[in-house]
Every structure is written in C-alpha cells, then in structure tokens.
Amino acid sequence: MDFFAVGQKIKELRKQIGLSQEELASGICTQAQISKIEKGDVYPYASTLYLISQRLGVDVNYFFDIGMTPRLDYVEEVIYQLKIARRTRNYEEMQQIVKAEENSPLFLQNKKNHQLILWHKGIYEYEKNKDLDKAIKFINQAIAITHTTDKIYSERELEILSSLGVMYVAEEQYENAFALLRKALDHLKALPFLTDKTLKTRLSYNFGRVLTRLVRYEESIACCQDAIKWCLQHDQLYALADLHYHLGYNFELVGNFDEAKEYLEKSAFLFTLQKNHTFATFINKKLDSWKNEMKIN
C-alpha cells in the first residue's frame, strides 16, 4: 500500500475544498494525526479513512485504489478513453489504446486494470477483426480474473457479459444471447447499488431485441416498457429513443399500428433532440408510408 500517495491525495482534496487540517480532523482524529497521514508517515484505520472520505466527498474505495495503483489519475483517463471508444464504436482507437497499455505494469499488475484490457481486446477482436472465438477467449479471461462464484456478478463483470451478448446478437446466435442476457439481468437484481444506471438500460434493450428475433413480441414489449420506466425514474435519456423505436417496431410486427405510431413518433422526436437526423428521417418516412397505405390516420 502506497501510504504517501494516499496522504498526498487527502491533502490535495482537503485544499481543494478549503479545509484546514484541524477542520478535517474535527470529530475524526487529531490534527497531528492528519498531518502524519498526509505526509505518509502513518496509514489511517479503515474506519478513520471512511470518515475522512465522507468529509472530503469521495468514496472510500478511491483511496484504496490510489494506495494499490500508482498514477491513478492516468489509469482513470485510460478507462475514460476506452469508455468513449466503446460508446462511439471507435474500435480502431480502442485497439490503439489497448496496444499502448497492455504491457504497462499499471495494467499488468493490477487485476481490475488487466481485466479492463482483456475485455476491450475481446471487443475489438470481434468488432474490428470479426474473430468471435478469440473475442470469447479474451472475454472469458477477463471475467475469470475477478469472478470466483456464480452466486453474484459485479457491475464490471455484467458490463463484460453485456458485450458478449451484443456479439451473439450480431452473429444471430439468439439462443446464446437470450441465455446470457437473461442471466445478466437476473444477477443485476442482486446488486445492492448500481453505479452506472445505463447498464440496466443497455441489458434490457439488447434483451428486448433478442426476444423480438425469437418472435416473443409480447415479452419484448414488456421488457422495453420496463426499461423506459427505469430511464424515466432515473432521469436518463440514454437509449430512450432506441427503446421507443423498438417498442414501436414490436407493435408493428403484431399489427397494432396505432400503438406503433405513438412510440415511433416519440422515438423520432427523441432522435431529433439527439441530432440523429438520419434515424429520425427514417422513422418519419416509415410513418408517411403507413399513412399512404391507410394503416394509420
């Protein structure tokens, strides 16, 4: 454990929010103890570190991560850049980041960081190189680093499973995708707290797509409706347009064009807000064709 790195970060955060050592110590420990902690002379008890973290407004795990991983800010930047590459589907950029970091001690010697690298190797091996077998190998290696029991999966592990589910959908292996995404959603319920609320949205959306491919339209409709409620409850727009579109698509497939129209119109509006004019135009053209065919008013 790098006591000095933890102490320096405590000092940095304390100064950022304008606290003196005495103010930080109040009700927790002595000012002298804070001074020793910041210098790296001593490491606080877990209970003390927890109280310090609360006063500084950060999660206590932040300090544990710093203590175990030097240059945490750099690692967090890599994590952020990989997330952006994932969300924007920039697999060339993703591969470049992975290649640059995979042999770094920062990512080889820390389990979670190494897991991150393997996970993204799996993603670009499939998305860029279309090698599903190699992708599955890396995905399984990534999960095995931290997963020790089938009783519960961590949020990161469910993220990784979600990536594999998307690959199965793309490969039209719908039964495999169904089993994996169903498993992920079941395990998601066991998590006491979800840091990234979009994880449930993404899992539900992809599960809804799979249900549609399996001609289980009513189940897909229920899944999408549940996901929309989740988005609204948590004030998130992520995938809301896609969910409305897929819901409308399901109603179209069962011949309920009035319901389909309602959700497609909402979807087109949301895509327009997101400046996704291509998809908004596609939906509006579909609605116009329905009007011409007298399917809707």
Structural domain contains residue 136: no
Sign (positive/negative) of CA torsion 52, 55, 56, 57? positive
Structural domain contains residue 18: yes
The percentage of residues in the chain with a pLDDT greater than 70, rounded to a whole number, is 94
Structural domain contains residue 7: yes
pLDDT at 53: 87
Structural domain contains residue 25: yes
pLDDT value at 180 more than 60: yes
pLDDT at 150: 67
218-228 average pLDDT score:
97
pLDDT value at 68 more than 80: no
pLDDT at 67: 56
pLDDT value at 249 more than 80: yes
> pLDDT tens across 97-151, in order?
999 888 887 788 888 899 999 999 999 999 999 999 999 999 999 999 988 766 7
Element (H, E) at 296: none
Structural domain contains residue 192: no
> pLDDT tens across 181-216, in order?
999 999 999 887 888 999 999 999 999 999 999 999
pLDDT value at 218 more than 80: yes
More confident residue, 102 or 246: 246
CA distance 113 to 76: 10
pLDDT value at 225 more than 90: yes
Structural domain contains residue 222: no
Structural domain contains residue 42: yes
Sign (positive/negative) of CA torsion 154, 90, 273, 164? negative
**Where residue 292 falls among pLDDT bands split at 50, 70, 90?**
very high
Residues 6+ apart with CB under 8 A from 37: 6, 7, 10, 43, 44, 52
Longest Cα–Cα distance of the chain, Å, equals 80
More confident residue, 68 or 185: 185
258-279 average pLDDT score:
95
| Listed ranges 24-33, 59-68, 190-199; the one with the highest mean pLDDT | 24-33
pLDDT at 108: 84
- Residue 59 belongs to domain with CATH number: 1.10.260.40
Structural domain contains residue 15: yes
Range of the domain at 35: 3-68
pLDDT value at 18 more than 80: yes
Kindly report the pTM of this predicted structure. Answer: 0.73
Mean pLDDT for the chain?
Answer: 90
Helix H, strand E, coil C: the string for the chain is: CCHHHHHHHHHHHHHHCCCCHHHHHCCCCCHHHHHHHHHCCCCCCHHHHHHHHHHHCCCHHHHHHHHHCCCHHHHHHHHHHHHHHHHCCCHHHHHHHHHHHCCCHHHHCCHHHHHHHHHHHHHHHHHCCCCHHHHHHHHHHHHHHHCCCCCCCCHHHHHHHHHHHHHHHHCCCHHHHHHHHHHHHHHHCCCCCCCCCHHHHHHHHHHHHHHHHCCCHHHHHHHHHHHHHHHHHCCCCCCHHHHHHHHHHHHHHCCCHHHHHHHHHHHHHHHHHCCCHHHHHHHHHHHHHHHHCCCCC
pLDDT at 2: 62
56-75 average pLDDT score:
69
- Number of domains observed in the structure of the chain: 1
**Where residue 74 falls among pLDDT bands split at 50, 70, 90?**
confident
pLDDT value at 70 more than 80: no
* Paired tokens of 77: 């930047």
